[in-house]
Amino acid sequence: MSNQQIKAGIIGGAGYTGGEMIRLLINHPNVTLTFVHSRSNAGKPLHAVHADLLGETELLFADSISNDIDVLFLCLGHGESKKWLEANAIADHIKVIDLSQDFRLGETVGNRAFVYGLPEVNKEAIKQAGNIANPGCFATGIQLGLLPLAAKGLLQEVHTTGITGSTGAGQSLQATSHFTWRANNISTYKVLTHQHLKEIRRTLSALQPSFTGDINFVPVRGDFPRGIWVTSYLQSDLSLEEAVALYQQYYANHPFTHVSEKQIDLKQVVNTNKVLIQLEKVGNKLIIHSIEDNLLKGASGQAVQNMNLMFGLDETAGLKLKSIVF
Amino acid sequence: MSNQQIKAGIIGGAGYTGGEMIRLLINHPNVTLTFVHSRSNAGKPLHAVHADLLGETELLFADSISNDIDVLFLCLGHGESKKWLEANAIADHIKVIDLSQDFRLGETVGNRAFVYGLPEVNKEAIKQAGNIANPGCFATGIQLGLLPLAAKGLLQEVHTTGITGSTGAGQSLQATSHFTWRANNISTYKVLTHQHLKEIRRTLSALQPSFTGDINFVPVRGDFPRGIWVTSYLQSDLSLEEAVALYQQYYANHPFTHVSEKQIDLKQVVNTNKVLIQLEKVGNKLIIHSIEDNLLKGASGQAVQNMNLMFGLDETAGLKLKSIVF
Amino acid sequence: MSNQQIKAGIIGGAGYTGGEMIRLLINHPNVTLTFVHSRSNAGKPLHAVHADLLGETELLFADSISNDIDVLFLCLGHGESKKWLEANAIADHIKVIDLSQDFRLGETVGNRAFVYGLPEVNKEAIKQAGNIANPGCFATGIQLGLLPLAAKGLLQEVHTTGITGSTGAGQSLQATSHFTWRANNISTYKVLTHQHLKEIRRTLSALQPSFTGDINFVPVRGDFPRGIWVTSYLQSDLSLEEAVALYQQYYANHPFTHVSEKQIDLKQVVNTNKVLIQLEKVGNKLIIHSIEDNLLKGASGQAVQNMNLMFGLDETAGLKLKSIVF
Amino acid sequence: MSNQQIKAGIIGGAGYTGGEMIRLLINHPNVTLTFVHSRSNAGKPLHAVHADLLGETELLFADSISNDIDVLFLCLGHGESKKWLEANAIADHIKVIDLSQDFRLGETVGNRAFVYGLPEVNKEAIKQAGNIANPGCFATGIQLGLLPLAAKGLLQEVHTTGITGSTGAGQSLQATSHFTWRANNISTYKVLTHQHLKEIRRTLSALQPSFTGDINFVPVRGDFPRGIWVTSYLQSDLSLEEAVALYQQYYANHPFTHVSEKQIDLKQVVNTNKVLIQLEKVGNKLIIHSIEDNLLKGASGQAVQNMNLMFGLDETAGLKLKSIVF
């Protein structure tokens, strides 16, 4: 195990992804969590906001930032990261990992350019990157279901259903996050228009420039807190065996993404950084199921995975997490 | 079946208990729902707020009230009912059923005095009443578990756990009603100090003036939307058979309250106006389980039951509801 | 209100659909429930099996059947209805409503032929029918989302996601119905191969003989007990306004099926016999959401609706049910 | 960090506690998991039974045991551990940690005597122990709420409510673990008679021999998979400040048990080995809330904690677990 110690800071530590960053970093063997910034909570202990941290850390939320860090995680709302980097001068040596969508389509700020932080497609670039645009939660799940096909130029029009836990909507109080409403309920939103389609298409088009078919995505609000289920299908000439072999080969060197030969269920990956993929073939349609924890592989866990790669650590350092399973 | 038609109005029709009042009254065979008042929603169809009513009624929320009604239901927040009655002149002939806690301890407004609307203890008074203070949800469940003992002077110090669904907290958005927080979660509040203890003690002391023991009540927030589970126990010399006989006799003429000889579970009564009671005896302790739907027998259903009694209708009219059961 | 009284019997009264039949029929103003047959429970009160019925009926399960009835509901497992009708002679005057899939594709038994009991496509035939094959739960929800298009010859390849509550799998104990497994979990089954596709295609092809496109159906196991959510989409030249007008017109005379102009959510219909439909248009794709309670409009409620039509009653008699809503 | 490596075996690796043992041990820095025995699954990969382990280990279930281990975990049903130890000769040097209730009351087998494995009361004895009887889940939560009082001789009659997740009932399929039944439902069982009362009283009486009051325990089945909530109250002369000080002092050297000054909720500890305690004082009653994950601190996590103590490791090794929190 590497003895390297990385100093990390977090901006926006009071939200869901900020909290998960803290939970991961305080137990990461190669990280010292230097500060967690939160404007509204400065001076309070982290466990005043993230009550589950009681007994694990006495760190307080900071109201200022330090440049004596190696990496900075931005856990801000969409649109806020760019503003923050414009307004706050941080030292050039600090690597930035941004969890918002502000830099996923090639946007830059100052002289900082961002690599799209999906290790299963961009691992070598991530290792060299100074800044990472961490992928979206749905975008991660959908792309991991399609990457091997795109890499072979086999994509056609895709039909995708994605079901997300309530944490995907953050901690703000709103009608669709009221317990009374959401318990035992199902609804959809942004059908065929979800904003993650842009970053998905950007990746897939880079792999398969000829691909112009629709990606028809039906996002569903599920009545559970954590996890994303994705089922995609498309026309394919591959046999099931060929498809399984393609996916296994594609993900052979990716420690968190695995192909299951048995039927999968969402709780296999909840509270872990893993993605499981299961394939089926019916007639001429190839069906791809892919599952993840939206806050881990879909957000903060993938951010840590990117950090590990950027600093030459074991890709899985600090990410061998016990699943909730039940 | 009676052909009598009662004209009813609702004040505060946009909340949870107001919505349940509407759902019950639009299908009640002896009621014409004349108006549903809501300051903030006047002019909108009821189904703009209560979306499940789409296809069932095209009634609009009203911004004024009519005196051409027989009964008025007040579905306002605690403290608001008294204010509303002070500020709004309504005709003397109108009977008022108030669902708040404003009149449960003997309070009056103008020349209106209120009967405590628990039919299992006050049925004859309710039939003659001009105004009803509808009991609280926890108060209903706890009292129905203790009334037969109090009527025989057998109460001693009581130990009670009550677990409530999230609808008990209303529709306002708050941290403890956020789906992400409440799903799979348990917490308590107002332990040994819940405000319903006052109306409970008032009823029990009237039945058993000698009773001065504590009623120790632990209220629990459950991770489900509807229903209240109550378990109480106390020292008792009654055998189980004697206790069952006592309870069966006490509730013999009450159509919604039944003694179960088998173990009960909450969903037996969810979405109905029923209360089920189960008794156990262990050593010298008598255990009483009682269950209800907090929004029906614990609020709007009991309000309809009171209306039925006040107007000489069958006590169960409009209240033969299909349980959700699953 | 009609004073007609129909005598009804139930075969297989111990299961989920049998229980719902009982709950509906004991409160139906025009029905006398003559017997509920259950081989394994004969002699026990109904509430020994359906515990929520305590206090509502003292009827016992029967071990024999009577021919002094007008209508017989078969609530048996798939394959069992046909066997039962072959093994048991019932009088010719008795109308049969079968909730299994045994007669949905035109099968007959003896001289009994069955009309497919989807009132929104077959109402006149149902009124004349002697026997009804009650549609499947998913089949009902999917068809109601597509009927208006098929009636106009506008169907093309359809992409459908359906999410079902656990009651759809019945009361048998199995790994996928274990609470610990299913809570907070998502999984799929029979993707693109679900058995209801046959009856769906049969109806749609009758309306639009030219339709040969695939109906791609992804069935999902949801982590809630009741209800089915269906989202379908397909290419369409209709504008949103044209589509809404088409659907409103199609369903104008159908009291349980309504078009919502606002976003819908599943709990609007849970514990009712209603179906709500919402339409969206994105690019050249028409999106159709349709929701139902799988045990009511998807099973026992639709069976009562069919009975009402067969006997000339109001189509909604006994089916004005309070939604659970919360 | 210690470099010591302990070889561990598991008997009964297919159940819930066996699965949690595997999840903890494969990531424990000081453990090599030598074998996982399961009669019914021998030869299959662990992930054939515990599907969430896919991608984490390729170990197979064993059909025989090896004596080349340092510690053996028995994850068998109650009554089965004693039988197994009688039927299987294991080397004397092997330390045994039994998760059943077979040895919690002082029972022995051969020359093996068992120390009750509750580190918060027995830490020094555990460090010296050759065999551990791991406490019950409810017993752990209830005792941790009462130990500081018992240690000071301050216990009086106790009133306790405990609400457990469904995993407490294991993975067998039964009516009360059916998803359709348990979702949104509440029920009680073994009220005032739960079997864990024996081990609780044994510990408390050892600390406070004068204590003869009742421990009135109402066990509740909750509608969530993981976790136990306990609220106890009793008469006490301690002020809140005195009680908090007493508890903080008692648990000062126990790394998993913490006193919260804020209101707690169950998900603060789910999927961790922690116990949080919160105190309240109302009148002359002291209220103690204590929460745990029933499968971790209430079973397999505590077993690892005991192993750590027995082998001189850091008590928290392998147990710094990320909470599910949401």
* Cβ separation A323–D52 shorter than 8 A: yes
- C-alpha span between C28 and C293 (Å, rounded): 19
- C-alpha span between C38 and B290 (Å, rounded): 30
Are the beta carbons of D222 and D163 closer than 8 angstroms?
Answer: yes
Cα separations (Å) of A54 from A13, A267, C252, D260? 16, 26, 59, 8
Residue indicated by tokens 């110090």:
B157
List the one residue out of D324, B273, A236 whose CA is nearest residue C27: B273
Q: Which residues are registered as beta bridge partners of C280?
A: C287
Are the beta carbons of B68 and B93 closer than 8 angstroms?
Answer: no
* Cβ separation D173–C178 shorter than 8 A: yes
| All residues at 6 or more sequence positions from B90 whose CB lies less than 8 Å from its CB, including other chains | B65, B67, B72, B96
Q: Which helix (H) or strand (E) holds A46?
A: helix A46-49
**CB count in 10 Å sphere of residue B221:** 21
> Is B137 annotated as catalytic?
yes
pLDDT value, residue A214: 98
Are the beta carbons of C161 and C215 closer than 8 angstroms?
Answer: no
Q: Across the interface, which of C185, C231, C267 has its CB nearest the CB of A188?
A: C231
Cα(first)–Cα(last) distance of chain A, in Å?
31
Cα separations (Å) of D17 from C181, D98, D256, D302? 15, 11, 19, 11
Distance (Å) from the alpha carbon of D323 to chain A's nearest alpha carbon: 7
Cite the active site residues of A: 137
**CB count in 10 Å sphere of residue D109:** 18
CB < 8 Å to B326, chain C: 16, 165-167, 225-226, 295
CB < 8 Å to B325, chain A: none
Please tell me the CATH code under which domain B137-294 is placed: 3.30.360.10
pLDDT digit string (tens) for C168-223?
999 999 999 999 999 999 999 999 999 999 999 999 999 999 999 999 999 999 99
Distance (Å) from the alpha carbon of C167 to chain D's nearest alpha carbon: 6
Are the beta carbons of A35 and A65 closer than 8 angstroms?
Answer: yes
pLDDT over 90 at B1, yes or no: no
Q: Per residue, what are the HEC states of chain D? A: CCCCCEEEEEECCCCHHHHHHHHHHCCCCCEEEEEEECHHHCCCEHHHHCHHHCCCCCCECECCCCCCCCEEEECCCCCHHHHHHHHCCCCCCCEEEECCCCCCCCCEECCEECEECCHHHHHHHHHHCCEEECCCHHHHHHHHHHHHHHHCCCCCCEEEEEEECHHHHCCCCCHHHEHHHHCCCCEECCCCCCCCHHHHHHHHHHHCCCCCCCEEEEEEECCCCCCEEEEEEEECCCCHHHHHHHHHHHCCCCCCEEEECCCCCHHHCCCCCCEEEEEEEECCEEEEEEEECCCCCCCHHHHHHHHHHHCCCCCCCCCCCCCCCC
Distance (Å) from the alpha carbon of C34 to chain A's nearest alpha carbon: 35
Q: Across the interface, which of B181, B218, B326 has its CB nearest the CB of D161?
A: B218
pLDDT digit string (tens) for C215-250?
999 999 999 999 999 999 999 999 999 999 999 999
pLDDT value, residue B3: 80
Are the beta carbons of D67 and D37 closer than 8 angstroms?
Answer: no
pLDDT over 90 at A3, yes or no: no
Q: Across the interface, which of A167, A177, A180 has its CB nearest the CB of B225?
A: A180
* Cβ separation C187–A233 shorter than 8 A: no
Q: Searching chain C, which residue's CA lies closest to the CA of residue A225?
A: C184
pLDDT value, residue B255: 98
pLDDT digit string (tens) for B115-162?
999 999 999 999 999 999 999 999 999 999 999 999 999 999 999 999
- Residue range B69-77: average pLDDT? 97
Are the beta carbons of A275 and A296 closer than 8 angstroms?
Answer: no
* Cβ separation B271–C54 shorter than 8 A: no
- Residue range C70-77: average pLDDT? 97
- C-alpha span between B127 and B39 (Å, rounded): 32
List the one residue out of B27, B73, B77 whose CA is nearest residue B53: B27
- Residue range D15-22: average pLDDT? 98
pLDDT over 90 at A1, yes or no: no
Q: Searching chain D, which residue's CA lies closest to the CA of residue B224?
A: D184
What percent of chain A is predicted at pLDDT more than 90? 98
Options B121, B137, B269, B296, the catalytic residue: B137
Q: Across the interface, which of B171, B175, B180 has its CB nearest the CB of A180?
A: B171
* DSSP state, residue B314: -
Q: Is the ipTM of this complex over 0.95?
A: yes
Q: Where are the domains of chain D?
A: 6-134+299-310, 137-292
Sequence letter at residue C299: A
Structure tokens at D128: 């010296």
Structural domain C6-134+299-310, CATH architecture: 3-Layer(aba) Sandwich (3.40)
D neighbour chains, 3+ CB pairs within 8 Å = A, B, C
Q: How many C-alpha atoms does A304 have within 13 Å on its Cβ side?
A: 33
CATH of C137-292, one of 3.30.420.40, 3.40.228.10, 3.30.360.10, 3.40.50.720: 3.30.360.10
Cα(first)–Cα(last) distance of chain D, in Å?
31
List the one residue out of A216, A146, A237, A281 whose CA is nearest residue C159: A216
Q: Searching chain D, which residue's CA lies closest to the CA of residue C227?
A: D180
B neighbour chains, 3+ CB pairs within 8 Å = A, C, D
pLDDT digit string (tens) for D176-227?
999 999 999 999 999 999 999 999 999 999 999 999 999 999 999 999 999 9
Name the packing angle between helices C300-310 and C16-25 (round to 10°): 50
pLDDT digit string (tens) for D86-128?
999 899 999 999 999 999 999 999 999 999 999 999 999 999 9
Interface residues from chain B to C (CB-CB < 8 Å): 16, 19, 23-24, 27, 48, 50-52, 54-56, 165-167, 183-184, 225-226, 255-256, 258, 260, 262, 264-265, 267-272, 274, 276, 295, 320-326
pLDDT value, residue D1: 53
Chain pair B-D, CB pairs under 8 angstroms = 129
- C-alpha span between D211 and B193 (Å, rounded): 28
* Cβ separation C225–D180 shorter than 8 A: yes
Q: Which residues are registered as beta bridge partners of B31?
A: B6
List the one residue out of A186, A169, A187, A274 whose CA is nearest residue A225: A169
Options C33, C126, C137, C309, the catalytic residue: C137
* Phi, psi for residue D20 in degrees, rounded to 5: -65, -40
pLDDT over 90 at C317, yes or no: yes
pLDDT value, residue C1: 53
* Cβ separation A225–B167 shorter than 8 A: no
pLDDT value, residue D3: 80
* Cβ separation C324–B270 shorter than 8 A: yes
Mean pLDDT of all residues belonging to chain D: 97
Rg of chain C over CA atoms, in angstroms? 19
- C-alpha span between C268 and C51 (Å, rounded): 26
Runs of H (alpha helix) within chain C: 16-25, 46-49, 80-87, 119-128, 137-151, 179-182, 196-207, 240-250, 300-310
**Is the four-CA dihedral D36, D37, D42, D43 of positive or negative sign?**
positive
* Cβ separation A55–D325 shorter than 8 A: no
pLDDT digit string (tens) for D122-168?
999 999 999 999 999 999 999 999 999 999 999 999 999 999 999 99
Count H helices and E strands in chain C, helices first. 9, 14
Q: Across the interface, which of C171, C181, C225 has its CB nearest the CB of D183?
A: C225
Q: Which residues are registered as beta bridge partners of C228?
A: C164, C292
pLDDT digit string (tens) for B2-51?
788 999 999 999 999 999 999 999 999 999 999 999 999 999 999 999 99
- C-alpha span between C221 and B252 (Å, rounded): 44
- C-alpha span between B108 and B131 (Å, rounded): 10
- SS3 at position C174: coil
* Cβ separation C268–B52 shorter than 8 A: yes
Q: Which helix (H) or strand (E) holds C286?
A: strand C285-292
CB < 8 Å to B272, chain C: 52
pLDDT over 80 at A51, yes or no: yes
* Cβ separation D52–A24 shorter than 8 A: no
Mean pLDDT of all residues belonging to chain B: 97
In words, the CATH class of domain B6-135+297-310 is alpha beta
CB < 8 Å to C262, chain B: 48, 51
Please tell me the CATH code under which domain A6-113 is placed: 3.40.50.720
* Cβ separation B180–A225 shorter than 8 A: yes
Q: Which helix (H) or strand (E) holds B126?
A: helix B119-128
- Residue range B176-197: average pLDDT? 98
Are the beta carbons of A157 and A234 closer than 8 angstroms?
Answer: yes
* Cβ separation A181–C265 shorter than 8 A: yes
List the one residue out of B197, B188, B187 whose CA is nearest residue B158: B197
Interface residues from chain A to C (CB-CB < 8 Å): 159, 161, 163, 165, 180-181, 183-189, 191-193, 214, 216, 218, 220, 222-227, 229, 231, 233, 263-267, 270, 280, 282-283, 285, 287, 289, 291, 326
**Is the four-CA dihedral B68, B70, B76, B79 of positive or negative sign?**
positive
pLDDT digit string (tens) for C258-271?
999 999 999 999 99
